[in-house]
Every structure is written in structure tokens, then in C-alpha cells.
Amino acid sequence: MSMTRRRMITAAVAAGAGISAAGVAVRLARRYGLVPPDSGGIYGPGETLTYATQRLMTTHSMAREFSRGMISKAPFANEMPPLNAEFKRHQAAGFKEWKLTVDGMVAHPASLSLADLKALPLRSQITELACEEGWSYIAEWIGAPLFEVLHAAGTLPQARYVVYRSIDRDWWESIDMADAMHPQTLLTYGMNDDDLPVRFGGPLRLRLPRQLGYKSLKFVDSITITDSMKHFGKGLGSASPEGGYAWYAGI
């Protein structure tokens, strides 16, 4: 009997300590931005563990870069929904009028042409694009680091997320500031020593090599800096969770 009682007391103390620890952990996680916008529902605990762990582990880590000889001879351009009329107008004009608008929590909202982006410090990197389906390819991606654009616009201190949208407004994504300020996060306009082809997301694609391909949005023409994802779409962080896919795709 004493064994049972001792065990019961031990179990109660352990359970109490466990619950308090979990409570403290959740509070700390929220405070340090370790809870993803799609943390509700039955998959929330797993998703939060993944995001929190990887955010802590990968704040400054660099995606693997490859030698020039590793560039895929046959990169695969994924299937795309038909491009809208507005895109086709831009395409017919050689993307001369393509603009990237930058707004939200910035000191200087801006509207940048491709020429403006090309005037910013250039970065090129040979990284892998991995699709959630399982396929992949390696390419050289050339563009302006997103942090250069954010610096120029003067991001306010309370900024927590960067929302970016395709010209087809059904497609929009967001990332946290750790990914937004990461040196490999590129507003990409070139691929393999050439302009970025339309089928690979040209004229402008946000490349994010530390996450799966679906976060590397094609045809980007708008960026909004914000402190909360609550008022964007259904508040889950991007179009992906609204379609059933995780917001964070570092896996």
C-alpha cells in the first residue's frame, strides 16, 4: 500500500511539474516567437515542436551550397495554374513595368522596378530546390538579398513577419524575420547565368533554400512587413495552411 501511495504522490507531483513546465514552455515559446501561425488544431503540437526546434537551431545556419558542376542539367519546372491577364501584359512588355511594392511596418514604403533590384548588391548561390513531393534540382540563383530591400525600406522594430505575394493573389506566403533577414533569402531575378525563366518563376521569385519549394513563391510583386499574421487571410500565416499544408516548411 505504501508503495502505491508513494507512487501516487510521485506521479501527482510529476504530473503537476509536467503541466507547469509545459505552461511555462508555451509562454516562453510565444514570447520568443517560436509558435507558428498555424499552431491550432490537432497538428499544432507537432508543428510547434518542429518550428521552435528548428528556429532555435537554424537562426544563422546556411543552406548547403553546391559546386557549379552539381547544377542540374535538367531542372524541372513544376506545373503551374494558367497565368493571369495582368501577368501576360507584363510579359508582353518584357517586364519593364514589373514593380515590387514594399509596405507595412516600414519607414519608407517603396515600389521597386527590376532595375532598382538589380542596382542593389547582388548575391548568387547554387542551392537545391526541394519540392514537398520528393523531387529536387540544383540551380544557380541570382538576386538581391531580401534584407537589403528591408534595410532600404527601414523595417520598424516591431516587425515579426514578411508577407510576400504572387501577382496571382491566390498565392501568398510569409516568413519570420529570421528567415527574412537570412543572407540566402533572395529576391531572385536570374538563374544559371541568365534571366529567371517564367516557368521557374520569372521575372521575380523569392528563393528560400532552407525551406521546401512551395515557400519559394513565383511571380512576386508585393511585400508587406507586419507584427502579426492575424489579419492576413484566415490568420494561419499563408495560403499553404489554408490549403492544408504547413506554414513552416523547413521540416
Partner 1 sequence: MQHSWLHAAKWLISCREARVTPCYAPVVPTIVAAPATERSRHSVVVRVTHWITVLCFVALLVTGVEILLSHPRFYWGETGNVNMHPLFTLHVPSSRAMVPTGYAVLPDQNGWSRYLHFEAAWLIVLTGIVYVLASLWNGHLRRDLLPAGEQRNWKAYVAVLGRYLRRAPVKESGAYNAVQRAVYLGVIFGLLPLLIWTGLALSPAIGSVAPWAVEALGGRQSARTLHFFATIALVLFFIVHVVMVALAGFWSRTRAMVTGAVKEEQL
Q: Interface with partner 1 by CB under 8 A: which residues?
A: 3-4, 7, 42-43, 45-47, 49-50, 54, 57-58, 61-64, 66, 70, 72, 74-76, 78-79, 128, 130-138, 209-212, 243-246, 250-251
What is the torsional sign of CA 160, 120, 247, 220? positive
Provide, rounded to whole angstroms, the least separation between the CB of residue 41 and partner 1: 9
Q: Give the integer Cα–Cα distance in Å for 149 and 131.
A: 27
Provide, rounded to whole angstroms, the least separation between the CB of residue 10 and partner 1: 12
Q: 134 vs 129, 131, 137, CA distance in Å?
A: 10, 6, 11
Expressed in angstroms, the distance from the first to the final Cα of the chain is 48
Provide, rounded to whole angstroms, the least separation between the CB of residue 211 and partner 1: 6
Return the closest-CA partner of residue 175 out of 216, 120, 130.
216
Provide, rounded to whole angstroms, the least separation between the CB of residue 206 and partner 1: 15
Nearer to partner 1, 61 or 228 (CB): 61
Nearer to partner 1, 166 or 184 (CB): 184
Provide, rounded to whole angstroms, the least separation between the CB of residue 82 and partner 1: 15
Provide, rounded to whole angstroms, the least separation between the CB of residue 193 and partner 1: 19
Q: Give the integer Cα–Cα distance in Å for 211 and 238.
A: 14
Nearer to partner 1, 138 or 191 (CB): 138
Cell 514570447, located at residue: 31
79-83 CB contacts, 8 Å cutoff, 24+ apart: 80/199, 80/218, 81/168, 81/170, 83/168, 83/198, 83/219
Nearer to partner 1, 103 or 132 (CB): 132
CB 38 within 8 A of CB 241: yes
CB 81 within 8 A of CB 87: no
